[in-house]
């Protein structure tokens, strides 16, 4: 099961660079990444990137270009985002997979979700909700006082997987 899938990282980063709310969220996340990087600075001391250059980043895309790409050996930002993007890779998935996304996810706009590719896949199902944001899927006025939608879906899905393990293995072997 995948939750809030990065189907198209190019469209996702473009979405969180849009003013006002998404851009504010983007800037907040970059500040949080800086805090993590600062705490781990010694671990990355000999890294292939320039700390001062990374600190100039104002968006996730800039952070990825100055840190992530260099730290993990990608050729450039396009190479990283292409490898991280899943929307054109559904045909490679050969085991049953449920993906949960929300239409209002600021990191993955609705038009980036590969609904048609999932429709023709024998293995991938995408469940879209109108609301849920990015990995939230909260419900009600006091969302933290009861089980949430995502918890119920998770429990039902994995309960079904474990109850039907032999059937799933048979289906997987049949198509592989």
Predicted confidence band of residue 12 (pLDDT cuts 50, 70, 90) = very high
Higher pLDDT, 143 or 133: 133
Q: Does pLDDT of 29 surpass 70?
A: yes
Q: What count of residues does the chain have? A: 176
What is the pLDDT averaged over residues 7-26?
A: 87
Q: Tokens representing 48?
A: 């292939």
- Measured CA to CA, the distance from residue 96 to residue 87 in angstroms comes to 16
Contact 104, 32 (CB under 8 A): no
- Helix, strand, coil percentages, rounded to 5, for the chain: 50, 10, 40
Q: What distance in Å separates the CA atoms of residue 103 and residue 137, rounded to the nearest whole number? A: 11
How many degrees, rounded to 5, is the angle at CA 19 between CA 17 and CA 21? 95
Residues forming a β-bridge with 125 = 98
- The pLDDT of residue 130 is 86
pLDDT at 114: 96
pLDDT band at 43 (very low <50, low <70, confident <90, very high): confident
State which H helix or E strand residue 97 sits in.
strand 97-102
Q: Is the pLDDT of residue 112 over 90?
A: yes
Check pLDDT > 90 for residue 85.
yes
The DSSP string of 23-80 is HHHHHHHHHHHHHHHHHTTTTTTT-SS-HHHHHT--SHHHHIIIIIHHHTT-SSHHHH
Q: pLDDT at residue 142 above 80?
A: no
DSSP 3-state of 172: helix
Q: What percent of the chain has pLDDT over 90?
A: 44
**What pLDDT, on the 0 to 100 scale, is given for residue 166?**
83
- What is the pLDDT at residue 170? 77
Q: How confident is the model at residue 176 (pLDDT cuts 50, 70, 90)?
A: low
Q: How far apart are CA 162 and CA 11, in angstroms?
A: 35
96 has pLDDT over 90: no
């Amino acid at each position: 099961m995948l939750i809030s899938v990065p189907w198209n990282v190019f469209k996702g980063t473009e979405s969180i660079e849009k003013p006002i709310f998404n851009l504010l969220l983007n800037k907040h996340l970059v500040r949080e990444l800086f805090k993590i990087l600062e705490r781990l600075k010694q671990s990355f001391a000999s890294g292939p990137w320039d700390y001062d250059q990374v600190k100039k980043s104002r968006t996730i895309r800039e952070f990825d270009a100055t840190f992530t790409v260099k730290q993990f050996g990608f050729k450039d930002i396009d190479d990283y985002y292409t490898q991280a993007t899943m929307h054109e890779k559904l045909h490679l998935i050969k085991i049953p997979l449920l993906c949960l996304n929300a239409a209002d996810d600021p990191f993955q706009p609705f038009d980036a979700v590969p609904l048609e590719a999932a429709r023709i896949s024998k293995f991938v199902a995408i469940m879209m909700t109108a609301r849920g944001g990015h990995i939230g899927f909260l419900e009600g006025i006091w969302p933290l006082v009861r089980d949430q939608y995502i918890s119920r879906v998770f429990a039902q899905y994995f309960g079904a997987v474990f109850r039907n393990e032999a059937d799933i293995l048979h289906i997987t072997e049949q198509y592989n």
